[in-house]
Amino acid sequence: MAFEIQISPLFDFEKVRLIDTEMGVAIEIITKGALMNSWQVPFQNKALQLMDGNELGNGWVLYEQNGFKGAKMAPFACRLEEGQYVQDGKKYRIDKFYFDKHAIHGIVYDALYSIQSTHTDEQGAYVILKYDYKGTDQGYPFQFQLEIKWHLQKNNKVSVETIVTNDALETIPMMDGWHPYFTMGGLINECSLLFKSKGKVIFDDQLLPTGQMMDDFSFNSPKKIGTTKLDNCFLLDTSNHECIVENEQLKLVVHADLNYPYLQLYIPPHRKSIAIENLSGAPNCFNNKMGLQYLKPHENLVFKTSYQVFIKL
């Protein structure tokens, strides 16, 4: 069979490798955070790493300090102003991680998932992970369940599906997103970027949305990134939820379903990778309501994204 799965312990969590043995492609999924930490494809007689992942040789200890690479962001993403919001007339304040004075990247980025099932066939390999959030953060005392399916398929394609189910007895606010960093074999400056934007979210000086949008169609046709600084959120055109990063060697196509209408892009100072963050709502949506969704008891939401790389040389 062309695909196989290897599972090995790693500190208090596990590493799941999904492998295309015929093509030499492999991804590594970490059960802590349910994130994709590695994606290797054969290139010029060696394995090319497509993820700017986490060094986990000493465990999870520096994960937050190193940028939340690959994080599953729920029930909010990016910044939540002073960690506070109001739901049904009651004010809540998140306990979890703060950058300066704002809570960031949700409360499940380090959750320990259980492996529900694995499967291989001639078309691919997948793992399904599950986590039951029990309302342990006083700022979000609403129970919900996450089920995440990572699927390695033929032709260097990876897809991820998230199902969020409300296990609380009341309606709860919810958004979902991912925070992966991709490498392209060199500086991001040498890449072109393409996505269809309906506008850019206006941020204040603390990177919080003002609630307003502005026209920005800079990358509606392929444009070299060069020295452009990116730490911005865009509203995608409903007709096309693809983001394409391309250089002379590689073409990366990120395709999100309609439940991810926002695209957050970030290039770190070293400019060796780019974070392509598909989001169901804008940063601080618990307060500005931009894309915020509400889940009734036992109701669920499904979010899907796929990543595919094409080797040109």
User: Under 8 Å CB-to-CB from 146, ≥6 apart: which residues?
Assistant: 34, 72, 74, 108, 111, 113, 130, 131, 133, 162, 163, 164
* Helix H or strand E encompassing 150: strand 144-153
* Of residues 212 and 308, more confidently modeled: 308
Query: What letter does residue 190 receive in the DSSP assignment?
Result: G
Alpha carbons 147 and 194: distance in angstroms, whole number: 30
Distance of CA 194 to the CA centre of its chain: 18
pLDDT tens track for 151-207: 999 999 999 999 999 999 999 999 999 999 999 999 999 999 999 999 999 999 999
Q: How far is CA 214 from the centre of its chain?
A: 24
Strands laid side by side in the 13-20 sheet: 3-10, 13-20, 25-30, 35-43, 46-49
pLDDT for position 1: 64
Q: Can you point out the beta strands (E) in 229-273?
A: 231-236, 242-246, 250-256, 262-266
CA atoms within 13 A of residue 6's CA, in its CB half-sphere:
9
36, 83, 181, 203, 262 from 100: Cα distances, Å:
27, 11, 22, 16, 24
Give the global pTM. Answer: 0.96
Q: What is the pLDDT of residues 222-277, one digit of tens each?
A: 999 999 999 999 999 988 899 999 999 999 999 999 999 999 999 999 999 999 99
The stretch 116-145 carries a mean pLDDT of 97
Half-sphere exposure of 102 (CA within 13 A, CB side): 17
Q: What is the percent of the chain where pLDDT is above 70?
A: 99
CATH 3.20.20.140 for domain 3-311: no
d(CA 198, CA 217): 7
Nearest to 252, CA basis, from 162, 181, 176: 181
